Chains A and B, each alone.
Chain A
Amino acid sequence: MSEAVVQDKKRFVVPIGPQHPALKEPGHFEFTVDGEIVTGATVRLGYAHRGIEKAVESRNWTQSLYLLERICGICSHVHAMTYCLGVEKLAGAEVPPRAQAIRVLVAELERVHSHLLWLGVAAHEAGFDTLFMYSWRDRETVMDLLESFTGNRVNYSANILGGVKCDVTPDLASAILKGVDFLEERSRHYLNVVTTDEVFLQRTRGVGTMSKEVAERLGVVGPTARASGVARDIRIEAPYAAYADFPVQIVLAEAGDLEARFVVRIKELFESYRLIHEVIDKLPPGELQTRMPRKIKAGETISRVEAPRGEAFYFIKSNGSDNPERIKVRTPTLCNMGSVVATAVGHQLADMPMILAGIDPCFSCNDRTVAVRDAAGALVTWESLRQRRLAHQENK
């Protein structure tokens, strides 16, 4: 933690991070302050950049699935599903309807786990540790369900190219329904807490407000956008997997402040519970997977999925070999990061963790690039990297 306050010509800059008590992931923030009031903010990302997009180019289509799933541990199913849907589209494979419905089921269970996780972390940032402990205790219910469903609590690997691995047995179906009913009752309680608790409302109502115009201009996605009244949900706009058969009701709020984001996310939980019930009731019979070729036909495609945090976007290009030629990933947190910088101005420094947590940031998702600097601190360009590689090869 670097808490040193740097003075720069009457401007105080408070650097926070990359290791900091608020979040569990590395990210660096610099807040310019006038007394307690924040007058400017900058974000520096890239600490968790590993170079996954480049690495998949040297792995085959199946190996890439497991690597891409590990972009993010919280929404791993979303990454694997986006990739699988794209590759299946390229290969022209017909995925059985039961597999598509199971993908939706796992995705909604994952949304439940992610939103409950966020609820706890955001409450913790507000100093409301009781809600943190309660919501994480209840989250264990859905973690148990995911574990008995797929075999792992995190990084489920439910997807394979051409379908899914795991099936819903009658025992599991009744366990899921029971767990979901318990969570629905608890979520009702949480909705009541975040909208009526006076102390908590002081931290959320009117804090970090983002109007609909600003949200649209910044290209904000997911629950952060829906809390500002922007009706944007890939599950509705471009239904994928089995979402065309299991339609989703959009959850919107108008206020655009932190309270609205809490309300939208908790109301989305109810929508997920309803969807889980519906999928289990109407689960189509049939096969779980279809056979996929080892080499994927040449071509390029895009694939979009609504992750718990917003739209996940994949560009996939194949040259007909057994390795992908290029995969580009754009994750929701990167789209939402601009809103933190925009809404931070004018608030107290103490509100910064809450405003940051309000977009549900996931740094391992958004660290897709890195700025390379040489020993002197100058930015290294793509061209100079290329020259360096050529020189290196010549010396060999």
Chain B
Amino acid sequence: MDFGKTWNEVLDRVKTWARLNSPWVIHFNSGSCNGCDIEILATLTPRYDVERFGIKLQGSPRHADVLICTGPVTLQARDRLLRVYEQMPEPKFVIAVGSCAISGGAFQGCYNVVGHVDEVIPVDVYVPGCPPRPEAIIDGVVKLLGKLQPAKQPPQEEIV
């Protein structure tokens, strides 16, 4: 739809605001050992509770802003990972969680492993660990949100 330049700017600002305050994430396991998956689930549960940042985990790639990938990419899962990524609407972001998703980890050299996630799709944030603690995963998501902030605002101070 064409609303004219001013309207588009306003709309973009509203969209960015909405995206920052409520990113919906989808999770895809492309051959992980489950360790990262249960830690991602743990971030949703009361002790860590990512929903306080407006983050919601849900099932359909069509609704998602952020794809969280775990595990090395296996031959069988490669096409599915690509398909899930392509189904997501623009703009889309990818977080690679765990050593395997970053570098293949312990599974380097296994015959059915294609490689790590960024050999298949572009990755925005890497969260290392085997598996990363839920705090680290939350930190990764918050860093991604910081990256999406409009450039006009002063850069956020890094929390260690």
Contacts and interface: CB of A to CB of B under 8 A. Distances in A.
Contacts of B27: 24
A346 interface: no
A158 to B, nearest CB: 15
Which residue, of B29, B46, B75, has the highest number of chain A Cβ atoms within 10 A? B29
A182 to B, nearest CB: 14
Given A47-B77, A364-B34, A136 B42 contact: yes
Contacts of B32: 25, 48, 73, 364
Given A50-B72, A370-B76, A73 B106 contact: no
A36 interface: no
Interface string B39-62: 111100111000000000011110
B80 A73 contact: no
Interface in B1-38: 26-38
B160 interface: no
A375 B84 CA distance: 22
B66 interface: no
Given A21-B59, A153-B39, A72 B33 contact: yes
Nearest to B100: A70
Q: Which of B33, B36, B58, B77 has the most CB of A within 10 A?
A: B33
Interface stretch (B109-117, B119-127, B138-146, B147-155): B109-117
B76 to A, nearest CB: 5
Contacts of B47: 137, 140
A133 B50 CA distance: 13
Contacts of A133: 45-46
A52 B107 contact: yes
Given A49-B31, A137-B46, A117 B72 contact: no
Contacts of B35: 70, 73-74, 76, 154-155
A36 to B, nearest CB: 20
A54 B113 CA distance: 12
B29 A50 contact: no
A26 B28 CA distance: 8
Contacts of B72: 50
A233 B99 CA distance: 35
Contact of B74 (A49, A117, A139): A49
Contacts of B105: 70
A108 B119 CA distance: 39
Contacts of A338: none
Contacts of A388: none
Contacts of A143: 42
Interface residues of B, number: 43
A201 interface: no
Given A1-B59, A137-B46, A55 B38 contact: no
B24 to A, nearest CB: 13
Contacts of B75: 370
B45 A19 contact: no
A26 B37 CA distance: 11
Contact of A54 (B41, B60, B74, B111): B111
A2 B31 CA distance: 19
B97 to A, nearest CB: 12
A364 B33 contact: yes
Contact of B113 (A22, A50, A72, A364): A50
B48 to A, nearest CB: 9
Contacts of B111: 51, 54-55
A282 interface: no
Nearest to A58: B109
Interface string A121-158: 10000000000110011011001000000000111000
A380 to B, nearest CB: 12
A374 to B, nearest CB: 13
A154 B129 CA distance: 11
Contacts of B110: 50-52, 54-55
B60 to A, nearest CB: 6
A55 B105 CA distance: 13
A22 B27 CA distance: 11
Interface of A: 1, 18-22, 24-26, 46-52, 54-55, 58, 66-67, 70-74, 76, 117, 120-121, 132-133, 136-137, 139-140, 143, 153-155, 362, 364, 370
15 contacts: A19-B61, A24-B38, A24-B40, A50-B107, A70-B105, A70-B130, A71-B33, A73-B32, A73-B35, A76-B33, A137-B46, A140-B42, A153-B131, A364-B34, A370-B76
Given A21-B58, A55-B109, A136-B41, 4 more contacts: A55-B107, A55-B111, A133-B45, A133-B46
Closest 7 CB pairs of A and B: A73-B35, A21-B59, A136-B45, A73-B34, A51-B110, A51-B111, A154-B35
